[in-house]
Amino acid sequence: MLKNMSSITNNGTKIEDSDASDAEISSSASYDSLDSDEHDERTSRDRASIALPAHVAGSGALDRLIDTARDYAEASTAENTNKAYSADWKNFTRWCRLKGTDPLPPSPEMVGLYVADLAAATGKAPALSVSTIERRLSGLAWNYRQRGFTLDRKDRHIATVLAGIKRKHARPPVQKEAILPDDIQAMVATLPYDLRGLRDRAILLLGYAGGLRRSEIVSLDVHKDDTPDSGGWMEIFEGGVLLTLNAKTGWREVEVGRGSSDQTCPVHALEQWLHFAKIDFGPVFVRTSRDGKHALETRLSDKHVARLIKATVLKSDVRSDLPEAKRLAMFSGHSLRAGLASSAEVDERYVQKQLGHASAEMTRRYQRRRDRFRVNLTKAAGL
């Protein structure tokens, strides 16, 4: 099915088979690597962020507690967030080195200049969007906190520069296209009924009906506490499957009911995958052998979900009226969540609960054009 398949994306890279290497290029991957001395320095600073007070003598028991505390501190933010923040710091420290300054202690003046450089980049480096710059600032603030410093983002050298960037460069957010019911049915129809196809069908249907993030899909285990890196577990009942997820907003339960037919039922697809893959413990969604006949023990990366969506969008001719590169850019893992929010004809509060949103306003951001002009305030005002 998707094996050996590759397609050109909008930035010239390829969509490769999702069971290939997990070496991933992040949005910050163009940064030059730090030399070994800098890497060791950064690592030592990270490790020193949690340590014994200077007046307390160390011991074996206390050292073990320090390691435990550091593990908990690392788990305080999502793995992808940690990677992004690490890349943010690496980029900033490299910029400081090239400008002949030191990143520590924090200097609002230098951070303001750094932000200006990101927005009005020269040479080969592209100018970054406002949202990316704000994310970079969040990454810097987080990194400074880990090193015992505080970056005051409200300092005029930072705040006024950022305000000017917003006025000059801000654009409406670009939202990913929602996958609608006809789309998801066409996408799963492109998948074969071999082991890999059964797995990918379950991923798409469960992600769509559950309104799940791609990280939530691949972090599922069969049972509670099956693996240390579990993000939740499942329980299959006659009426559907109950997912217990450790999400961004805390633990939540997601009910996924059975569909109207086996071809589109997410629970049936899940049961088929678990049965033929002989999975009864550990990660629900794992890699398969190269011949596609055996399930392996390795948990899938969340990148697999995004690649799978893009690949099946192309094969199913969803939005085939558009150029291939644009179609690839329109859809991502968020398209599954947006699809549920835009298509489920139920009271909004049920969609909000399914998506795990704290507010109805956040849920409405996922609803692509669904509620436009449903409430006509012009007529309500007497015109």
Cβ contact 178:341 at 8 Å: yes
Distance CA 253, CA 34 (A): 42
Cβ contact 341:363 at 8 Å: yes
Q: What's the first-to-final CA gap in the chain, in angstroms?
A: 57
Write out the two tokens for 89. Answer: 């710091």
C-beta pairs of 346-349 under 8 Å, 24+ apart in sequence? none
pLDDT band, very low/low/confident/very high, at 186 (cuts 50, 70, 90): very high
Distance CA 144, CA 49 (A): 10
pLDDT, residue 44, reads 41
Q: Which helix (H) or strand (E) holds 275?
A: helix 266-277
Q: What pLDDT digit, counting tens, does each position of 17-51 carry?
A: 444 433 332 333 333 333 333 443 444 444 446 77
Lowest mean pLDDT among 12-16, 134-138, 186-190, 304-308: 12-16
Distance CA 116, CA 85 (A): 19
E strands, the chain, in order: 7-8, 14-15, 220-221, 232-236, 240-247, 250-257, 286-288, 295-299
Average the pLDDT over 349-367 and give the result: 65
> Over 90: is that where the pLDDT of 357 sits?
no
Distance CA 65, CA 67 (A): 5
In order of 26, 27, 243, 299, the CA distances from 303 in angstroms are: 11, 13, 21, 12
Residue type, 271: E
236 SS3 class: strand
> Over 90: is that where the pLDDT of 383 sits?
no
